[in-house]
Amino acid sequence: MRDGTAAILGAQPGLEVVGTASSVDEAVELIRREPIDVVLLDIRLGTDSGLRLLREDLGGSAAAGATAGATTAATPTPAVVVLSAYDYPQYAEAAIRLGAAGYVIKTAPLPELLAAIERAAAGGMAFSVRPRAGTSAHLTARELEVVRLVIDGRSNDEIGASLQIGAKTVETHLRRLFERFDVASRTELAARALREGWLDIPPD
Compute the average pLDDT of residues 120-129.
Answer: 83
Q: Inform me whether the pLDDT recorded for 76 exceeds 60.
A: no
pLDDT, residue 86, reads 81
Whole-prediction pTM: 0.62
Do 146 and 173 meet the contact criterion of CB atoms below 8 Å apart? yes
Structural domains in the chain, sorted by start: 2-127 (3.40.50.2300), 141-200 (1.10.10.10)
pLDDT, residue 58, reads 54
In the chain, the amino acid numbered 19 is G
pLDDT, residue 16, reads 92
Going from the C-alpha of 69 to that of each of 10, 66, 111, 139, 141, the distances in angstroms are: 9, 10, 17, 34, 34
Going from the C-alpha of 117 to that of each of 15, 35, 55, 83, 149, the distances in angstroms are: 9, 16, 21, 11, 38
